[in-house]
Structure 1
């Protein structure tokens, strides 16, 4: 089974998972949020993640979205997955936002890793744009 693993500093990953739940239905069951808490060591995060992995099937694979490449949370997760022989089969992205998380969650089981990588990055960057408030004083939901 493929899981979407959201990794962050603090509660960002947990908040993103909660928001995904508003759109996801049962798909949210395949989302795991893991955040390095203030005053928590990377080693403690690693221990928590190892315990989470023990609850998952042996054939679990991961699509990982992290808040930043090179940060302690992602580095720790990668080290744990490497020790367990699961890093090679993981798709890992640094930087995360709601559109890419939604795409990853909804498409992870129906797209190849190569196609999913392209789609996630496309949706992540395509959703970022400036909101122009100068064109009209009355806006509808379609304008946003």
Structure 2
């Protein structure tokens, strides 16, 4: 089985998992979310417990809020202790589009093919949304006269 592991500072990972369930509810048994709240030792213990269902035959995809942050580095240490790091795919800067694509594609693609499917989705989601003001709409209407 392939598990999707969400790690973050605070409750972001758990909140993202809740939102992810709205889009990929049938995949949630393979999604594990753990947030750093009380220090890295507590996080490491929580993470070890959360991934206790993962076996040596399973593989993992790790999505983290910040590359190089304590939740990610601690999670990677735990995965290395368990012998799961060498086959893991690790991505940082997680957002909801990245998590949705990861949950949906994790069983269809491996390695670089998986990464090349997920990262563009995450990057495309980052854009400015411009709201047209009512003045702009009136100016457009005046142009029609």
Which bin holds the TM-score, normalised by the shorter protein?
Answer: 0.7 to 0.9
Instruction: Please state how far the C-alpha of 1:136 moved relative to its aligned partner.
Output: 5.6
* 1:141 counterpart residue number: none
Q: Does the alignment pair 1:26 with 2:26?
A: yes
CA distance in 2, matches of 1:92, 1:86: 12
Aligned position for 1:119: 117
Match of 1:64 in 2: 62
Q: Superposed, which structure 2 residues align to 1:72-91 within 5 Å?
A: 72-91=70-89
Question: Can you list the C-alpha shifts for 1:47-72, whole angstroms capped at 9, x where unaligned?
Answer: 12222222333322111110001111
Residue of structure 2 in register with 1:41 after alignment: 39
**Aligned equivalents of 1:65 and 1:124: distance in 2?**
11
Bigger Rg over Cα:
2
For residue 142 of structure 2, what is the aligned residue in structure 1? none
> Is there any run of 5+ residues in structure 2 with no aligned partner, and where?
139-145
Per-residue deviation, 1:76 = 0.6
- Runs of 5+ in structure 1 lacking a partner? 138-144
**Cα 1:130–1:58 shift into 2, 3 Å:** same
SS in structure 2 opposite 1:59? coil
**Higher helix proportion (structure 1 or 2):** 2
Deviation sequence 1:71-113 (CA, Å, 0-9, x none): 1111110001111111011110111111011000000000122
Tell me: CA distance 1:79–1:67, structure 2 relative to 1, closer, same or farther (3 Å): same
| Aligned CA-pair RMSD | 1.5
> How many residues end up aligned between the 2 structures?
135
User: What is the TM-score with the length of structure 1 in the denominator?
Assistant: 0.87
The question of whether the paired residues in 1 share the 8 Å contact of 2:3 and 2:58 is answered with yes
